[in-house]
Structure 1
Amino acid sequence: MRTSLLGSLNILLRRRPRALDLEKGVVELGLRPNNDGQGRPPIRMRLEDVANDVLIMIFSYLDVRDVVALRQVNKFFHDISHHSIIWKRFLRQSDVPIPPLPPTSRHSLPHLSGLEAERLLLRSVSLQRTWTSRDPSYIDSWAFNANYTVFSMATVPGGQYLIASVGNCIGNGERFTDYSLVIYAMDHPHGGGHAIARTRTHTKAYHLKARYTTIRGRHSIAIAYVRRDWGRRSERENPNPSVDVSEFSGDHEIDPPTPIKYECVALEVPLECLELLSDPRLTPGTPEWKAHANAQPKPFRYLAIIRTRSQLMYPDIDELFGKPYLAVLKRPNSIVFQNLEGGAASTLFCQIPNLPNQPLVCRPFVTQLSK
């Protein structure tokens, strides 16, 4: 650390440093001798006397440990060490994988704050060390109140947002009658996870899928899920139906006692809306935040709904031919594709091969070792 710091001082101050006391923040500078051969005594100066712009440039040439060590000297160094220039330079020169950020100008490198850039880099380094460790273990854990019963979850790259399929019991009953999708901001400045958007799904949503994408020029999160519904209108409108379609497993084929239909729903949530709802100046859940949220456009927008009486499973969202597409498995042997920017759906039928039924023959594998 001292070599790099002294070298930076030598370049920027045009002096030859001779000593550095980080605990006191003092630099001893030796000046060239006079013409008569008599050298002047070294000058002791405090780093606080150096211009802030020069100090920030010096700090940016150090490594992370040096900056953290200088941060512990005093409040002045603590404040300087949080400057965004320092940590953005670390990010550019980092040799560890950096997790992706939401594809908006707000989360681009030029617009990141010093705290955001520092947090991103330190988390990346921590993840890399844990991932490559022979005995990985988590350093810390935290929990937050989701305010609902969570059935399944999906995250977008970087972990900025978490999408959860949740349920809630209305009244004193033990039966879930209120199913929703909830988006949580997982990296809010006020700490913890906070619910910032919610939309009802009528029945339990399962097989969640979420990813960043661009829809009609808007940077968004596209969400897809599957849900079951009653096949008969009389049962859908009955407040106490004889069969609860939300209780069936989403991973197995079922033989329901009543007609059932399936829906694969694709939703769009513009990232601009989520950034407004996760305003760092407001704490989600407070009256001020609720008034702010009610003044914003509704975040959820329907993109596509695929309805069928055949079982739908495992939706996926990706780009085909430069457009965002939804693909969902339709049992027994077809895949439905839907352009999320509009247009008719297409179905790919997968031919089931007629393979001969051959018995499985197991032969023991013996290895003989020579003496």
Structure 2
Amino acid sequence: MMFLSDFFQPLVSLLRGSCLILALPPEVLLELIFPRLSLRDLLALRSANKSFFYLTHDFMLWKRMLKKVHLPLPLSHPPFQHTPARDHHLERALIRASSLEKNWIVEPCIRFTYILETPGDKVLEVSLLPGGKYLVASMADVKDYRYYLAIFDVDETPAERNNLLAKIALPSRAYHLRAKFMHYQGEQRIMIFYVRRGYPTGTLYSLDPSTLSYDAADVEHPLSYDCVCTSVALGSLEYISDPEKDNTSSTFREYAKSLPSPFQWSSTVCFGDRRPERPSLCQYLGAPCAAVCHQNRVIIVNFDTQRTTHFICPDMGPNQDSCAQNSSCSGPCSPRAS
């Protein structure tokens, strides 16, 4: 006597031994099945086999996941080239948003530490650009004889890869370091702002002002302050920091040497003995600008024209703290261009 289960048993064993989902067309997987998975399940499916590994890197899949995931996305740095190799930026943003949400919920919060390898130099100030890929640093050697601006790649740099991308020597220490992505002269660039100071006559005294903090000053000899804006092109940085390229090969090194210097343009505005405070890097009508404070003034610096606009704020008197809380008590600022 033969039962129905005996008839279907070989068929069930055959089905269990094969993966039917692999027989589906890639269009069905990408358009109907994968978008219904959670972000964590999609990443887990990637490690199943090579076919799923390549399918889960499809850019259109992550565009559909973007409509599904309701999480605040982290700021991303603008890619220099919009090619298929750069399509991973959206995927990385979604993964980072999911990791941030998980880290926010799970207790205790997981802390991450990143160490910059700067043998022979020390880091004085840093400014991290949106997206967490590029970090600009004001540096000096261990004896405070030489000063530099440096750009590091801190975005998952392998241990065997040097994260220092570019470096330029400065005449003195860079204070109040600021960095920002800007679209300038038809290109996406990094704009770096800093303040440097020295003796106005160029005379060297026994006290080097670059070795002091910004709040400290030489009482006997007045100092002169300059606001500097430097433009950094992204083309060379994107090529050097590309993780898919082998930086140990001779071809890579020869081509990297032929690339133009990332530091391409610089503009300096002299402030004399006025010490800039609380700088903020911005852009106005396509020109890189900076807003700084000096006593009762807000000074807007246009680095294209090298002109400054002064907003003089009136003295509020002895009750300025209480007046500042009341908007009706604040007097208008007087603009003055120079």
Band the TM-score falls in, shorter-chain normalisation: 0.7 to 0.9
Extract unaligned runs of 5+ from structure 1: 1-18, 27-45, 170-174, 236-240, 359-371
- Aligned Cα root-mean-square deviation (Å): 3.3
Give the equivalent residue in structure 1 for 2:233. Answer: 270
1:319 corresponds in structure 2 to 283
2:117 maps to 145
The one-letter code matched in structure 2 to 1:53 is E
Farther-moved stretch of structure 1 (222-231 vs 65-74)? 65-74
When normalised by structure 1's length, the TM-score is 0.71
Match for residue 261 of structure 1 among 204, 209, 224? 224
1:323 is displaced (CA, Å) by: 4.3
Alpha carbons of 1:86 and 1:292: their partners in 2 closer, same or farther (altered >3 Å)? same
1:22-101 correspondence to structure 2 within 5 Å: 26=19, 46-57=20-31, 58-101=33-76
Q: 1:257 to 1:165 in 2, by over 3 A?
A: same
Structure 2: distance between partners of 1:61 and 1:52: 15
* Higher deviation after alignment, 303-312 or 93-102: 303-312
**Partner Cα distance (1:139, 1:264) in 2:** 36
CA drift of 1:207 comes to 1.0
CA distance in 2, matches of 1:117, 1:67: 15
Matched, 1:329 2:329: no
Q: Would you say 1:181 and 2:139 are equivalent positions?
A: no
Counterpart AA for 2:124? F
- Mapped partners of 1:278, 1:76: distance in 2: 28
Q: Distance in 2 between matches of 1:197 and 1:23?
A: 56
Say how many residue pairs are matched.
Answer: 305
Question: Offset of 1:346 from its aligned partner?
Answer: 1.9
Residue identity in the other structure for 1:151: L
Q: Tell me how far 1:139 sits from its aligned partner.
A: 5.1
In 1, Cα distance between equivalents of 2:71 and 2:15: 28
SS of residue matched to 2:29: helix
Q: CA deviation at 1:123?
A: 1.1
Which structure shows the bigger proportion of residues in helix conformation? 2
Output the CA distance in 2 between the equivalents of 1:73 and 1:357.
66
Tell me, in whole angstroms, the C-alpha distance in 2 between the residues paired with 1:107 and 1:255: 50
Aligned: 1:159 with 2:127: no
CA contact (8 A) 1:325 1:337 kept: yes
1:295 corresponds in structure 2 to 258
- The 1:356/1:196 distance shift into structure 2, 3 A limit, reads closer
Shifted more, 143-152 versus 98-107: the winner is 98-107
What SS does the corresponding residue of 2:52 show, helix, strand or coil?
helix
2:194 paired with 1:194:
no
Residue 289 to residue 243, structure 1, CA distance change in 2 (3 Å) = farther
Q: How many angstroms apart in 1 are the aligned matches of 2:16 and 2:69?
A: 28
Q: CA deviation at 1:196?
A: 0.9
Post-superposition Cα deviations, 1:279-332, rounded to whole Å, max 9, x if no partner, equal 3343558765443333122222103433412222232111345643212223x3
Q: CA–CA distance in 2 between the matches of 1:23 and 1:80?
A: 23
Q: Is the 8 A contact 1:226 1:315 kept in 2?
A: no
Residue 306 to residue 287, structure 1, CA distance change in 2 (3 Å): farther
Cα distance in 1, alignment partners of residues 171 and 194 from structure 2: 13
Q: What SS does structure 2 have at the residue aligned with 1:126?
A: helix
Contact 2:183/2:286 (8 A) holds in 1? no
- Cα deviation, 1:154-198, whole Å, max 9, x if unaligned, reads 0111112100111114xxxxx211111101122266467711111
Greater displacement, 339-348 / 212-221: 339-348
The sequence identity of aligned pairs, in percent, is 28
Match of 2:315 among 327, 332, 352: 352
Match of 1:226 among 183, 189, 195: 195
- What residue is the counterpart of 1:122 in the other structure? 95
